[in-house]
A and B are shown apart, each in its own frame.
Chain A
């Protein structure tokens, strides 16, 4: 054994980062668990997609609703949160050059999450807990369905506090100077959101568990929905804060980019902490018993201030890349910086596709569907899963995949196997997901419901016949969904293959991906027409124009509806 093994730290030859070995093991454990659960969630998803595809209609109704419940729980909760814990430990410990606080507690959290996730999955597979991820009362699941989620949440909560403890230790022991790095600040945002999100989950899932074992007489359905969505929607905001931190991180790793403005980016993260939690209302806009004043204030995140934050990140992340590229010499015209980006590097391509899909597909649809009145023509249609596959699959999952291609050499110290396949993978998954999302949103606007086994209503006397276009869009969506699942399978093959068979990275390996200091290029005067990032500004204006246009198209359609008050 070398002296490195005796020391609690190692200096990584690829990244130059100094790593606490205990943290490193925990990052590996959480990331591997995440990838395994992604496989499970993806298989459930394949079952759902191949059933909703009218020409295939694979599963029986019973197995379809079971698979859909499993897909929601595993892909939307288990996979992302395991990966997020890995990211929190990486940001708190590795990026701050610090040891991890209380690794033992981190392991307790890890095993609670494993046990919790498996408990809930077993409950789902046993068949009497096909209640969907949302498990609206008074529909009831087996008690261990809720218990598993609670254990998982407690484990995740421990992970958040280990991260917070690590930040405190790092400050105390002076492992970094000045303010927290932006990426860690973003991760801290995610952890803070996670804590109040999980608290909301506990407030509603614990009584629901007690109700399921007969200790509580009833749980009010409206209270359940209001509080459950403070878990359900806000947990997606943990994802947003995390994957945006990853965008900033990858922009720096690949391009040597630095934030265009620390002040702007941090303020945007702060807006998330202040206003994202209000998004619970997005799911309650067509519900009885809530006033329009409440709905408007909450659904708009208090005057759209959290939307503003996302619009800001959407500019500053590619903007930071543009500035770095221009300083390095790619300063010609509007888009040379983008054309000369390493599109064959999955760390970059995954991140950039994630950014584009999150903005154009998930972002625009999200802003429009959360308008109090527009929601009436969208609520619970296929539009909803279309939207959130744009955010969570195309945005978060793809960003996590991109980062994984970096973690393999740096944390796992293995070379990525099958590099050509890895190059292709983000496109396969990203484009598959984006087409799925858009086509399913289209089907939703034609009235196709979400979570529905048979939109042909075969054999029913009151059957409704959807327009042919609705079937076509559903088929396109599910075909693209299968492509996305294939992209997921390729990802898992590459990751697991690299961990098992990838060549160990030698001590004299070269940094990957290799980055030169952008400022060293000596290009001081950059940009066009007085803008340092004119290309990004143009892209942002394209997003803006699309959003405005789409917003009014929806109001035009809404205005053709029956008068309603």
Chain B
């Protein structure tokens, strides 16, 4: 008796007709696959949430220097929750530099609602995961590559940056903030 674990019953199995259940299903499934492929491309035009995939090669040292200069230039106050951390308020439309390192996101940012910023993200040591909550927006960060995302905060409030890429024993303590002002 023919089964799936014995050779095909008919030697010329590739000329056997295909039963209707399969034909109809394959047609539906294939059309849906094509749709998903086209939709993913189309979202780059019809959607507002896309990664520009703008990125640059860098080094941890060079990037740290950029972040330091940026922080020194635009620091407006020390954070009220943790006075050791500077809060930086860059002008609208400018380049914003955020550094991931074990185990913090530096500096804390203050942005204006409705304004666009070019947010640069990179790591100074190991891989980290930029995870903005409660928005739930996530990017990968690793050393040597500087990712640029142009984002426009659409809601005011306090947002926390978690790390969601495991980065050693202090991984769960790695936090940062983005304060969005009206």
Residues of A near any B CB (own CB < 8 A) = 61-62, 65, 68, 91, 95, 130-132, 136, 138-139, 176-184, 220-222, 225, 248-249, 251-253, 256-264, 284, 286-292, 295-296, 299-300, 303-305, 307-308, 311-312, 315-316, 319-320, 367, 371-373, 375-381, 445-447, 449-455, 457, 460-464, 466-467, 517-520, 527, 530-534, 536-537, 540, 544, 547-548, 551, 555, 558-559, 561-565
Judge whether B72 is part of the interface by a CB distance below 8 angstroms.
no
| Contact of B24 (CB < 8 Å), options: A62, A290, A537, A548 | A537
Assess the A252–B22 pair: CB atoms within 8 A: no
**Which range holds the interface residue count of chain B?**
35 or more
How far, in whole Å, are A531 and B49 apart by their CA atoms in the complex? 43
The 8 Å CB contact of B5, one of A182, A284, A457, A547, is A182
How many angstroms from the CA of A257 to the CA of B3 in the assembled complex? 6
Chain A residues with CB under 8 A of B79 = 461-462
Q: Determine whether B75 belongs to the interface, using a CB cutoff of 8 Å to chain A.
A: no
Contacts of B172 in A (CB 8 A): 61, 452-455, 457
Cβ contacts A to B, 5 pairs, < 8 Å: A179-B8, A181-B5, A295-B53, A373-B43, A544-B28
Whether B136 lies near A178 (C-beta < 8 A) is no
Nearest opposing residue in chain A for B57, CB measure: A289
In contact, A296 and B41 (Cβ under 8 angstroms): yes
Q: In the complex, which residues of chain B have a beta carbon less than 8 angstroms from the beta carbon of A544?
A: 28-29, 32
| A536 and chain B: residue at smallest CB distance | B21
Chain B residue nearest to A139 (CB atoms) is: B126
Contacts of A62 in B (CB 8 A): 169
Q: How far is the CA of A554 from the CA of B168 in the complex (A)?
A: 32
Residues of the B chain whose Cβ atoms lie less than 8 Å from the Cβ of A558: 47, 49
**Inter-chain contact A561/B20, CB cutoff 8 Å:** no
User: Known contacts A139-B126, A466-B133: does B49 contact A563 (CB below 8 Å)?
Assistant: yes
Instruction: Kindly list chain B residues whose C-beta atoms are within 8 Å of the C-beta of A222.
Output: 142, 144-145
Which residues of B lie under 8 Å from residue A181 when comparing CB positions?
3-8
Most central of B19, B55, B121 by chain A CB within 10 Å: B19
Contact with A along B142-154 (1 / 0, CB 8 A): 1111110111111
Question: Closest chain A residue to B33 by CB distance?
Answer: A304
Q: A559-B47, A563-B49 are in contact. Are A457 and B173 (CB under 8 A)?
A: yes
- Please give me the residue from chain B that is nearest to A451 by CB atom: B166
A522 to chain B, nearest CB (A): 14
Q: Contacting A380 at CB < 8 Å: which of B81, B165, B175?
A: B165
Of A252, A263, A534, which one neighbours B13 at CB under 8 angstroms? A263
Q: In angstroms, how far is the closest chain A Cβ from the Cβ of B7?
A: 4
A178 touches B7 (CB 8 A): yes
Q: When the two chains form their complex, are residues A138 and B51 in contact, meaning their CB atoms are under 8 A apart? A: no
Which residue, B5, B44, B145, B176, has most C-beta atoms of chain A within 10 A? B5
| Number of A-B residue pairs at CB separation under 8 A | 317
Taking a contact as CB atoms under 8 Å apart, the answer to whether A289 and B7 are in contact is no
Write out the residue numbers on chain B whose beta carbons fall within 8 Å of the beta carbon of A534.
21
Contacts of A532 in B (CB 8 A): 19-21
Contact B32–A264 (Cβ < 8 Å): no
C-alpha gap A220/B57 in the complex (Å): 11
Please tell me if the beta carbons of B4 and A289 are within 8 angstroms of each other in the complex: no
Partner pick for B8 among A178, A455, A565, CB 8 A cutoff? A178
Q: Separation in Å of the A286 CB from the closest CB of chain B? A: 5
What residues on B are CB-neighbors of A261 within 8 Å? 16, 18-19, 22
Q: What residues of A have a CB within 8 angstroms of the CB of B131 in the complex?
A: 380-381, 447, 449
Q: Which of B11, B34, B137 has the most CB of A within 10 A?
A: B137
- CA of A9 to CA of B103 in the docked complex: distance in angstroms? 61
The reply to whether A220 and B33 contact each other, CB–CB distance below 8 Å, is no
Complexed CA–CA distance, A263 and B14 (Å): 5
Q: How far is the CA of A462 from the CA of B109 in the complex (A)?
A: 13
Please give me the residue from chain A that is nearest to B116 by CB atom: A563
Does B7 lie within 8 Å of A179, measured CB to CB?
Answer: yes
CA distance A472 to B53 in the complex (A): 36
Q: Are B160 and A462 in contact (CB under 8 A)?
A: yes
CA of A451 to CA of B57, assembled, Å = 28
Bound Cα distance A536, B20 (Å): 12
Q: Report chain B residues within 8 Å CB of A457.
A: 172-173, 175
A-B contacts besides A292-B53, A457-B172, 7 pairs, CB < 8 Å? A138-B126, A180-B7, A222-B142, A261-B19, A288-B122, A292-B44, A373-B43
User: B4, A286: Cβ atoms under 8 Å?
Assistant: no
Contact of A308 among B29, B122, B125, B176 (CB under 8 A): B29
* Cβ-defined partner of B163 (8 Å) among A304, A449, A455, A537: A449
- In the complex, the chain A residue whose C-beta lies closest to that of B55 is A288
- Taking a contact as CB atoms under 8 Å apart, the answer to whether A258 and B51 are in contact is no
Nearest B residue to A220 via CB reads B144
Q: Are A319 and B29 in touch, CB under 8 angstroms?
A: no
Q: A261-B16, A453-B171 are in contact. Are A381 and B138 (CB under 8 A)?
A: yes
A251 cross-chain contacts in B, Cβ below 8 A: 4
Is B50 in contact with A447, judged by CB distance below 8 angstroms?
no
Chain B positions within 8 Å of A262 at CB level: 8, 13-14, 16
Closest CB-CB distance, B62 to chain A, in whole Å? 15
Which residues from A are CB-within-8-Å of B136?
377, 381, 445-447
Set B13, B30, B138, B146: member contacting A376, Cβ < 8 A: B138
Q: B127 at interface (Cβ–Cβ under 8 A)?
A: yes
